[in-house]
Amino acid sequence: MALEALQPDALAEIEASIEGEAASLILYRDAQGGVHAFRNICPHAGRRLDYAPGKFVRTKGGELLCAVHGATFSLPAGVCVAGPCRGECLCAVAVHVAEGQIRLGEADAQ
């Protein structure tokens, strides 16, 4: 995905292959332009966080809200700050930006 397609403080869903398996990922671009990625799975019940593919609910404070049971995750850390899995974290996935593209993996691994 092109970095310019993900605006600051925005979320996007992409499909990727991780260790040979298809995975839905959430991309988040913070206000400073850093990109963070998480598996699109709530640690509470193992369901997707989006209510429809690529459609996410945010609180007034900007946290990511699980559409199923209301778990609330801080961004960019991915820590659950309210709800049924408080204190647990979203599963982070390493990403980096190279040549204007968001890519899986660590930058030095390429």
The predicted-structure confidence for 87-105, as pLDDT tens digits, reads as follows 999 999 999 999 999 999 9
| 71 vs 78: CA distance, rounded Å | 11
Residue type, 18: I
| 60 vs 29: CA distance, rounded Å | 17
Whole-structure pTM over 0.85, yes or no? yes
CA 95 to chain centre: 11
Using alpha carbons only, what angle is made at residue 42 by residues 20 and 104, rounded to the nearest 5 degrees? 35
> CATH number, domain at 71?
2.102.10.10
The number of domains in the chain is: 1
Instruction: Supply the pLDDT for residue 101.
Output: 95
What is the domain extent for residue 17?
A: 3-109
